[in-house]
Homo-oligomer: A and B are copies of this chain.
Amino acid sequence: MNSSLRDYMPDRADRYFSGGSGQRSVARALFETVAGLPLICPHGHVDPLLFADAAYHFESPAELFLIPDHYVFRMLYSQGVPLEAQGVPMNEGEDNAAVESDHRKIWQTFAENYHLFQGTPTGLWLRDELHDLFGVTEKLTPANAQTVYDTISERLAAPDFTPRNLYEQFRVEALTTTDAATDTLEHHRAIRESDWDGRIYPTFRPDKVVNGIDQPQWNEQIGLLRAVSGVDIVDYPSYISALEQRRDFFRAMGATATDHAAETPFTVLLSPYEAEAIFQRGLAGGASAGDARLFTAHMLVEMARMSGEDGLVMQLHTGSVRNHNSALFRRFGADKGADIPHRLDFTHNLKPLLDRFGAHPSLRLVLFTLDESTSARELAPLAGHYPVLRIGPPWWFYDSINGMRNFFAQVMETAGIYNTVGFNDDTRAFASIPTRHELWRRIACDWLASLLVEGQIDDEDAFAMAHALSYGLAKETYRL
């Protein structure tokens, strides 16, 4: 029985293609024309240190694949495996003795729970990365876990297995990191001053000096901003000046974009008096939650104004309720797989921003959503009308086969592909980048193939759209 089912599994070259043999032939032909295109990585979270240090090496398979990856450890956690057993470090001040430090043991625990990833994007990325980058062709099992560990370790230790070499090998054309507004960009400076000509650029992410004006950390962050900018931030205008100065610095360091996260896309334009009043309450430690909500909403409009002026492409990631698991957050901190999406409204929330800048000639605003019900209903009609708007690719839990298929089905009829921006890998896992882009390109070609075999598009359109979705749109949108 098993052997016969295996006959129905596709060649690796055809994986993730759907439909009958005709559609698969079309998808394969389209994919062949884009598989070798360079990678544009306009939004991600790779640590720039990887490229600043010419000799950087990854420590272990567990460090490369597991410990920093909240997609992985949250799944084992959901089935009762504590984060401690997975080697996830606790906050300072917690008793880290309980945290497993034996990376082989962590890897073994993972292998014993590998079935949890059946049919998940994490499972596909891991399998493809193990195959393509480490030559591991067997499925990971509890039995072979240590041998696979050896294979990976050996490869990691090879002198040529450095991020800079991988950058060339992966054919990355440009890669951007995500950096706090107060970051001194020292690693970026080191890269620029080195003899290496990889294009690694920062992205300006001011969330920590904008959001949470009612929290004590906000004042600490303003202190950092004061220090790094040299601007004496005493009021709203000097705060704005400091931000503008930091944007100029980021641009000088190669940045072409900003990034903003908020729980919702709520925007509002406060009067200068209102903005000043909230800002002063923030400085004095007396801002309320309502102040914080208004200030974040107002600053999104200010940031749109700045982007219109300095040309940095503005990205807006909304919809995640961060650190939903309070107990875990207290012990382990942020980004522990407990950021849960919620319902969004863009139509009403973005109106104040769009009333002011919706047709601005040089603003470009890329919207991302974690609420798929907004894609066809709100994002596509908005981006299919307002000149400044573009729709970002499926994000986070939707960076998956179904997420991408839904995206193509929900967005393209109304917005057209040219109001979208191609792919963002959005990852901190540098070594997984080719795998992620390949998945996107395969699903994009699969979608185009379905349109062609239904007579919706012709071959000429299909080739042009495959190129745009794989490469052209990301490069053009992000001004890279």
Contact = CB atoms under 8 A, between A and B. Distances in A.
Interface string A118-137: 11110010000000000000
Nearest to A343: B345
Contacts of A461: 115, 118-119
A438 to B, nearest CB: 13
B10 A454 contact: yes
Given A118-B416, A342-B347, A459-B5, A372 B376 contact: yes
A416 B117 contact: yes
A387 B454 contact: no
A386 interface: yes
Interface string A333-359: 000011111110101100100110011
A351 B326 CA distance: 9
B120 A412 contact: yes
Contacts of A14: 455
Interface string A365-397: 000001111001110111111110100000001
Nearest to A371: B377
A413 B418 contact: no
A9 B458 contact: yes
Contacts of A8: 22-23, 25-26, 449, 452-453
A447 B416 CA distance: 24
Interface string A9-35: 110101111111111011001100100
Contacts of A460: 2, 139
Contacts of A458: 6, 9, 139
A325 to B, nearest CB: 6
B340 A381 contact: yes
A116 interface: yes
A198 interface: no
A296 interface: no
A98 interface: no
Contacts of A358: 325, 327
Contacts of A409: 402
Nearest to A412: B119
A96 interface: no
Nearest to A400: B413
Contact of A75 (B30, B345, B371, B416): B416
Interface in A68-103: 74-75, 77-80
Interface core residue of A324, A373, A410 (most chain B CB under 10 Å):
A324
Interface stretch (A52-60, A216-224, A273-281, A462-470): A462-470
Interface of A: 1-2, 4-6, 8-10, 12, 14-23, 25-26, 29-30, 33, 74-75, 77-80, 115-121, 124, 139, 321, 324-328, 337-343, 345, 347-348, 351, 354-355, 358-359, 361, 370-373, 376-378, 380-387, 389, 397-398, 400-403, 409-410, 412-419, 449-465
13 contacts: A8-B25, A10-B454, A14-B455, A74-B384, A115-B464, A116-B418, A119-B413, A326-B355, A337-B385, A343-B377, A376-B397, A376-B398, A380-B397
